[in-house]
Amino acid sequence: MFAASADPATLAAAMDSSRKKRDRDDNSIVGSDFEPWASKRGEILARYTTTEKLSINLFMGSEKGKAGTATSAMSEKVRTRLEELDDFEEGSQKELLNLTQQDYVNRIEELNQSLKDAWASDQKVKALKIVIQCSKLLSDTSVIQFYPSKFVLITDILDTFGKLVYERIFSMCVDNRSVLPDHFSPENVNDTAKETCLNWFFKIASIRELIPRFYVEASILKCNKFLSKTGISECLPRLTCMVRGIGDPLVSVYARAYLCRVRPPHPASSSVCASPSPPPHESLDEGLH
């Protein structure tokens, strides 16, 4: 009610200013010599290219049980959404074959835009489905010299999703026409925002395949800040152990690299996340730095 009565322009400006200050604080922690991912990703995309044909495998779920079905019980809503995820994972397979590298890039960019469109139209389950399917693509190492670039493209989508979820929960913490302080604690987070945050983690925990479950949870790792002061530090060892279940050594080491990249630059959590091991192919090592 406070948010509805507040001036939208003023509220948006306050949230944007708070977001920029958080980014500056994060950058000051890692040091001035730290090379940001935004600059490194361009080098990886330019270097790791291929002339081989690529493919994309997507599992398109059936249209039964759409999100938004009217129901009064919260437990019924949760059950319906979990069934939708199961249905999507068991749906019909759609394979795009003989794609050039540019075709592949274009298709991934389309999926990234589809994610944003789904989120903007309040189709949160559809957005999650897109992220799950994109994460599954990281299990394919058939064109190994392109894998670093594929990693960049897919994690761009994961980053988009993580940011959307975090900002959504952060926006729910509006109280008395103000936003959370820059260094907030879980005590500053209202029950509605905490419940929404938990709901996201519960939905992600229901993903049956290891690789998408790991990547999607890692993408919203920062959201643990809404629930517990030690939430991130507690989750990091568990996620690191999850990576041990990935059999392919290349996929495994890039999963570790992603976990290191999304870990908030905070001294309290630096000791629990192991550095990524060198990948099995020496020429790919530079794609991880």
pLDDT, tens digit (0-9, with 9 covering 90-100), for 18-71: 556 555 555 555 666 667 777 888 889 999 999 999 888 775 443 343 444 434
Q: Is residue 251 part of a domain?
A: yes
Residue 212 token pair: 């998408």
Low-confidence winner among 97-101, 127-131, 233-237 (lowest mean pLDDT)? 97-101
Collapsing DSSP to helix, strand or coil, 56 comes out as strand
Band (14; pLDDT cuts 50, 70, 90): low
200 touches 166 (CB < 8 A): no
Q: Is residue 46 part of a domain?
A: yes
Q: Is residue 147 part of a domain?
A: yes
Q: Is residue 230 part of a domain?
A: yes
Asked whether residue 148 carries a pLDDT value surpassing 90, the answer given is yes
pLDDT, tens digit (0-9, with 9 covering 90-100), for 133-144: 999 999 999 999
Q: How far apart are CA 231 and CA 216, in angstroms?
A: 16
Asked whether residue 239 carries a pLDDT value surpassing 50, the answer given is yes
Q: How far apart are CA 134 and CA 129, in angstroms?
A: 9
Q: Is residue 67 part of a domain?
A: no
pLDDT of residue 22: 56
Low-confidence winner among 53-62, 203-212, 233-242, 261-270 (lowest mean pLDDT)? 261-270
First CA to last CA distance, the chain: 47
Q: Is residue 22 part of a domain?
A: no
pLDDT of residue 228: 87
pLDDT of residue 26: 53
Q: Is residue 171 part of a domain?
A: yes
Instruction: Return the closest-CA partner of residue 89 out of 176, 207, 171.
Output: 207
Domain range for residue 165?
39-58+92-262
Asked whether residue 88 carries a pLDDT value surpassing 60, the answer given is no
**What's the number of domains the chain is made of?**
1
Angle at 11 between CA 10 and CA 16, to 5 degrees: 100
Low-confidence winner among 92-101, 103-112, 219-228 (lowest mean pLDDT)? 92-101
Q: Is residue 282 part of a domain?
A: no
